[in-house]
Amino acid sequence: MTKYLRKATLDDLPTITQIFLEAKAFLKASGSPQWPNGAPNQATFKEDIQKGQCYVLIVDDQIGGMASLVLDPDPNYQVIYEGS
């Protein structure tokens, strides 16, 4: 089994989006409140790819996962109250 990471390209966007939709559905079915407002979404992934901060895990020549590594401060996490 061959596994490696590479930077995502815009050609990967449909697969990345599908992976995330499945992850959101899984979390929702599990009772998790993660990502209730629709974000991140395809526009978020496209921006991450264009900034060079989105990576895909390749397993046997297919995308098996994705992650975005954002080094800039995220305004969503600047102030957190009571876990929200």
The string of DSSP letters for 10-75 reads GGGHHHHHHHHHHHHHHHHHTT--SSTTS-S-HHHHHHHHHTT-EEEEEETTEEEEEEE---SPPG
- On the question of pLDDT at 80 being above 90, the answer is no
What class is the 3-77 domain?
alpha beta
% of the chain beyond a pLDDT of 70: 99
pLDDT tens column, 34-75: 877 778 899 999 999 999 999 999 999 999 999 999 888 878
